[in-house]
Amino acid sequence: MSMEIIENYIDGKLVAPNSNQYIDNFCPSTGEVYAKIPNSDIDDVQKAVESAKNAFPIWKNLSIEKRSSYLYKIADEIENQFDQFAHAETKDNGKPFKLSKHVDIPRAIANFRFYAGAVLHFASESHKGNQDFINYTLREPIGVAACISPWNLPLYLFSWKIAPALATGNTVVAKPSEVTPYTAYLLSKVCQKVGLPNGVLNIVHGIGAKAGHAMVSHPDVPTISFTGGTKTGQNIAKITAPMFKKLSLELGGKNPTIVFEDCQIEEAVKTSVKAAYTNQGEICLCGSRIYVQKSIYQKFKNAFIERMKTLHVGEPMSEDSKIGAIVSKQHYEKILEHIDLAKQEGGKLLFGGKTVQPEGFENGWYIEPTLFENLNESCRTNQEEIFGPVATIQPFENEDEVIQLANSTPYGLSTSIWTNNLAKAHRVAAKVNVGIVWINCWLVRDLRTPFGGMKQSGLGREGGWEAIRFFTEAKNVCVSTQV
Position 385 contacts ligand NAD (CB under 6 A): yes
Position 235 contacts ligand NAD (CB under 6 A): yes
Listed ranges 38-46, 69-77, 102-110, 201-209: which one lies at the site for ligand NAD (CB under 6 A): 201-209
- Indicate the residue among 169 and 181 with the shorter CB distance to ligand NAD: 181
Is 150:228 a contact under the CB 8 Å cutoff? yes
Rg (CA), the chain: 23
Listed ranges 135-143, 149-157, 335-343, 388-396: which one lies at the site for ligand NAD (CB under 6 A): 149-157
Q: Which residues contact 424 (CB under 8 A, 6 or more apart)?
A: 260, 262, 399
Minimum Å distance from CB 481 to ligand NAD?
A: 45
Position 464 contacts ligand NAD (CB under 6 A): no
Listed ranges 33-41, 148-156, 349-357, 397-405: which one lies at the site for ligand NAD (CB under 6 A): 148-156
Q: What is the largest CA-CA distance in the chain?
A: 81
Residue 174 parent element (H or E): strand 171-175
Position 438 contacts ligand NAD (CB under 6 A): no
CA distances 15 to 5, 12, 36, 37, 74, Å, are 11, 9, 13, 11, 21
Interatomic CA distance for residues 70 and 38, integer angstroms: 27
Task: Rule CB under 6 A: choose which of 209, 243, 478, 479 binds ligand NAD.
Answer: 209
Residue nearest to ligand NAD (CB): 208
> 369, 424, 446: which is closest to 258 by C-alpha?
424
Position 256 contacts ligand NAD (CB under 6 A): no
Minimum Å distance from CB 435 to ligand NAD?
A: 9
Catalytic status, residue 441: no
Position 148 contacts ligand NAD (CB under 6 A): yes
Interatomic CA distance for residues 414 and 286, integer angstroms: 8
What strand order describes the sheet that includes 133-141?
126-128, 133-141, 472-480
One of 147, 191, 263, 284 is an active-site residue; which one?
A: 284
One of 178, 250, 368, 377 is an active-site residue; which one?
A: 250
Position 251 contacts ligand NAD (CB under 6 A): yes
- Indicate the residue among 166 and 436 with the shorter CB distance to ligand NAD: 436
Minimum Å distance from CB 183 to ligand NAD?
A: 13
- Indicate the residue among 387 and 418 with the shorter CB distance to ligand NAD: 387
- Indicate the residue among 208 and 324 with the shorter CB distance to ligand NAD: 208
**Single-letter amino acid code for the residue at 342:** A
Task: Rule CB under 6 A: choose which of 458, 460, 463, 464 binds ligand NAD.
Answer: 458
Is 150:34 a contact under the CB 8 Å cutoff? no
CA distances 143 to 146, 197, 222, 236, 466, Å, are 10, 16, 7, 19, 18
Task: Rule CB under 6 A: choose which of 28, 181, 253, 463 binds ligand NAD.
Answer: 253
Minimum Å distance from CB 113 to ligand NAD?
A: 20
**E strand intervals along 201-303:** 201-203, 223-227, 246-250, 255-259, 287-293
Interatomic CA distance for residues 196 and 190, integer angstroms: 9
Is 11:49 a contact under the CB 8 Å cutoff? no
- Indicate the residue among 268 and 290 with the shorter CB distance to ligand NAD: 290
Q: For residue 436, how many other CB atoms are within 10 A of its CB?
A: 23
Is 233:455 a contact under the CB 8 Å cutoff? no
Task: Rule CB under 6 A: choose which of 387, 438, 442, 470 binds ligand NAD.
Answer: 387
Orientation angle between helical segments 154-167 and 105-121, nearest 10 degrees:
10
Minimum Å distance from CB 446 to ligand NAD?
A: 15
Task: Rule CB under 6 A: choose which of 229, 237, 317, 427 binds ligand NAD.
Answer: 229
Catalytic status, residue 466: no
Q: What is the DSSP string of 26-74?
A: EETTTTEEEEEEE---HHHHHHHHHHHHHHHHHHHHS-HHHHHHHHHHH
> 201, 64, 212, 126: which is closest to 476 by C-alpha?
126
- Indicate the residue among 177 and 223 with the shorter CB distance to ligand NAD: 177
3-state SS of 192-213 is HHHCCCCCCEEECCCCHHHHHH
Is 397:258 a contact under the CB 8 Å cutoff? no
Minimum Å distance from CB 110 to ligand NAD?
A: 16
Minimum Å distance from CB 223 to ligand NAD?
A: 14
Task: Rule CB under 6 A: choose which of 41, 92, 250, 377 binds ligand NAD.
Answer: 250
What strand order describes the sheet that includes 246-250?
13-15, 8-10, 201-203, 171-175, 144-148, 223-227, 246-250, 458-459
- Indicate the residue among 226 and 351 with the shorter CB distance to ligand NAD: 226
Instruction: For the segment 167-186, give every residue that binds ligand NAD (CB under 6 A).
Output: 175, 177-178
Position 450 contacts ligand NAD (CB under 6 A): no
Position 409 contacts ligand NAD (CB under 6 A): no
Listed ranges 46-54, 146-154, 165-173, 425-433: which one lies at the site for ligand NAD (CB under 6 A): 146-154
Query: Residues binding ligand NAD: what is the number (CB under 6 A)?
Result: 32
User: Where does this chain bind ligand NAD (CB under 6 A)?
Assistant: 148-152, 157, 175, 177-178, 207-209, 212-213, 216, 227-229, 232, 235-236, 250-253, 284, 385, 387, 413, 453, 457-458
Question: Any idea which residues carry the catalytic annotation?
Answer: 250, 284
